[in-house]
């Protein structure tokens, strides 16, 4: 028998806000999609970006990549130099869901995000609703990131969350698997309709 849910935890990028490096590099490479994908798979890779999310400074991250690919220095610096252009806005359907859950008063609502500490204040300015969570854990500030267990435990302990009574929503399957290993109920977000269907199993009241 499932325990009654009292806590909802949202990932941010890919769930509540649309973030894609492609938005910057399609412009930089004049719409050459093949070049864009090559660059993001080989130069400014997800693994490289996650090191900044885990607390490495942007200056250090850039230096590492420029040493490796000096001919792409200009393009490497664009990643964080034009970082705000990677954010196209809120994912409106999911934002409405967040607002409904919050307005119901039946749940504590938290955010658990992989995000560079140096870009967090800018993100909050761009998306003021980030202030509406009951609490936020930001990887770059904590100097650890999803899917490492440490960051989930920081969230659970800081806000006295009972894992079995919580649901975590993330677009990265590895992050969901990590949450489930800690007994947090997980939903791998793929689209809004699927999210709504998966939430029904928990008989939420909002």
Ordered mean pLDDT values, 10 residues apiece, the chain (206 residues): 86 98 98 98 97 97 98 98 97 98 97 98 97 98 98 98 98 98 98 97 93
Q: Which of 119, 175, 173 is nearest to 145 (CA)?
A: 175
Structure confidence at residue 92 (pLDDT): 98
Exposed/middle/buried for residue 152 (C-beta within 10 Å: 0-12, 13-18, 19+): buried
Among the candidates 30, 63, 86, a domain finishes at 86
3-state class of 163 per DSSP? helix
Residues 170 and 78 in one domain: no
Please enumerate in sequence order all residues whose Cβ is within 8 A of that of 126, keeping only pairs 6 or more positions apart, or say none.
84, 87
Q: Is residue 17 within a helix (H) or strand (E), and if so which, with residue range?
A: strand 17-19
CATH number where 148 lies: 3.40.50.1000
Structure confidence at residue 3 (pLDDT): 75
CA 135 – CA 107 distance, rounded (Å): 12
Strand intervals (E) in 83-205: 87-90, 108-113, 135-138, 166-170, 185-188
- The two structure tokens encoding residue 173: 């399957």
Among the candidates 37, 71, 86, a domain finishes at 86
Range of the domain at 61: 20-86
Give the pTM. Answer: 0.95
Residues 25 and 53 in one domain: yes
b/e sequence 180-201, b meaning 16+ C-beta within 10 Å: eeeebbbbbbeeeeebeebbee
Provide the domain count of the chain: 2
């Amino acid at each position: 028998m499932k325990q009654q849910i009292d806590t909802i935890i949202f990932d941010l990028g890919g769930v509540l806000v649309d973030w894609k490096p492609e938005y910057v590099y399609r412009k930089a490479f004049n719409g050459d999609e093949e070049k864009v994908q090559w660059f993001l798979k080989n130069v400014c890779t997800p693994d490289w970006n996650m090191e900044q999310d885990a607390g490495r400074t942007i200056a250090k991250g850039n230096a590492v990549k420029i040493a490796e690919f000096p001919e792409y220095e200009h393009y490497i610096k664009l990643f964080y130099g034009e970082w705000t252009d990677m954010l196209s806005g809120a994912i409106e359907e999911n934002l409405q869901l967040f607002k409904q859950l919050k307005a119901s008063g039946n749940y504590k609502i938290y955010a658990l995000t992989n995000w560079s500490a140096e870009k967090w204040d800018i993100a909050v300015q761009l998306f003021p609703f980030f202030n509406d969570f009951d609490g936020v854990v930001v990887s770059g500030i904590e100097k650890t990131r999803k899917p490492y267990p440490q960051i989930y435990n920081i969230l659970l302990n800081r806000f006295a969350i009972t894992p079995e009574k919580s649901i975590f929503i993330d677009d990265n399957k590895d992050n969901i698997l990590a949450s489930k290993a800690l007994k947090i109920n997980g939903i791998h977000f793929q689209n809004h309709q699927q999210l709504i269907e998966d939430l029904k199993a928990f008989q939420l009241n909002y």
